[in-house]
A and B are shown apart, each in its own frame.
Chain A
Amino acid sequence: MNTSRAAWLFITPALIILGLFFLLPVVAALVLSVTDYDLYALADIRNLRFVALQNYWALLQRPLFWSALGHTVYFVVVGVPLSLLASLGAAMLLNSPLARFKPFFRTALFAPVVTTVVAVAVIWRYLFNTKYGLINYTLDAIGMPTVDWLGDPHWAMPTIILFAVWKNFGYNMIIFMAGLQAIPADLYEAARIDGASAWAQFRHITLPMLKPTMLMVSILTVSGYFQLFAEPYVMTEGGPLQSTTSVLYLMYEEGFKWWNLGSASAVAFILFVIMFAVTAAMLRLSKRGEPA
């Protein structure tokens, strides 16, 4: 048997799965998004009609779509920088030559990443409980005002952001640690001899040397955070007053609660286009900052 034929035999199972259950559905989603696929079409495919861009047009006129998009952007714009700060801070602490028990701390800080989001969301919902949650109790005990964390429309999204930062920072922390370890030690040595302060070393050595890592981590985190769904599903059911309804939450409700699959596909595509545009813009901006 020649290697070319063997190669095809080796890749065919994976290609069938990916083609049939991923690439084909993606293309179908585009088709679906220009039809009025709903409960009637689900019952009998003959009820299906082509509606061109009507789904998209209708979405752009729905306040709920804009507020879902707003909440998602809020989650990304506030959550991503906080996540990256926490990750970088933890990585620098762990990377410090003065840190002790490094394997233990690394494991402890990473633990939330491998936990199941639904299960830890259940825990945090209990911790954030207004009446008997530990967080409000502690705030009260030290004389701080208590907060209706998940019940107040202004606080629900910040609370979910805090939860997401706790859950996810360990992931990027590991990548930042690898990036930090790749910075040559003699750069810091030379800076110390020149009398550079710790802050100056951070600004002029650490940050520039971490730039490629930072870009990759930012892009991964941004696209991950655009896919907000399980957290509001478990913690707030999209509320209060739909203040935590994200784009994917809207897609889920539109598609699998109301069975408007055409309109839900349009939601999915708009999210995809936005994610793609934001990622591309980040790549371009980072290239422009580089010396030619």
Chain B
Amino acid sequence: MTEHVVIVGGGTGGTVLANDLADRLDVELAADDVRITLINDGPDHVYKPVWLYVPFGQREPADGRRPLDELVDDAVDLRIDRVTAIDTEAQRLRFNGTAPAVDYDYLVLATGSTLEPERIPGLADGGHDYYSESGSTALRDELLGFTEGHLVLSVIGSPHMCPAAPLEFVFMADDWLRERGLRDDVDITYTYPIQRVHGNPHIAEWARPIMDERGIEVETFFNAEEVDPDSETLTSMEGTDLDYDLLVTIPPHGGIDLIEEAGLGDDGWVDVDKHTLEAEAAENVYALGDTADTGVPNAGSVAHYQAGVVGQRLASEIRGRPATATYDGKTLCFIETGMDAASFVEFDYENQPSPAPPSEKLHWSKLAYNESYWLTARGLL
């Protein structure tokens, strides 16, 4: 009998996993003992970290976009379609219209995060972001002509994709404005929902003095409640008002409704065993990357490492062996601290991050990784 592995989501986690399985199970694929299908709701794979550089005019969105059919192994069936229902009892996925349902033996959900700016009144009209392709280009159009006033970076949603990116943006904006002789004419304020500047206390302790040295104002315990685009004011649940001239936000994030509708978890995130990545509410279902509610950062490196674990576990199960691979929370992350310097952190469930001293070498390492990312997506790196 042919075992059918279905992966939903063609981001980093889904794509790396599809290629990992194609390599790992090449004998079984050739013998038709296994079939792998990758389903994505669009034809392209998007490398979102490129968007951080778009507002500063350093990259184009097209630099982070490649057709999935160029990245995914030919042994994988690629289907461009949107799943509309997950039936974990029948082990079946349904689609819109007349498209036939797909049965699975193993399902991996890698559907990622979606932005939900509509949860904050006024945010869609008043705020900019660099967490979407359209947001990053719209912000670029504003930022390149911004020469004076108050730039506010507000982290509204948490958890959100790439927890380092808000810090990176204000560090880069500060440095970029200094290089152009505009920093004295631009005030920068950074807001964060809890009592420190980052969710991880070790990264927060490292980042806060850098902000203080550079004159980046900080508002903690700031949970944006409303944006008034006419008066250019951002109001928090805690009762603080901030006037802005350019508002950049990390919007609230959510998963996809299908996951909640399938009873797999709340808010679009799948409740999983954080070591095995198996869904708690259904058999033969895994989740990885942002979709898996593990408490680790929503980051590409997490999805990459988790894909390796799920690949090993699925291969073992398909071969009738005990699955022993586990995920230990490993996260790697570069953190830009300016336009030509970056730090680096590595941590897991047991070990806390210790940010490296910022250097030009680490900055170039980050840019080199961004260029070589396509090898990661192909499962080669």
Answer yes or no: do A and B interact: no
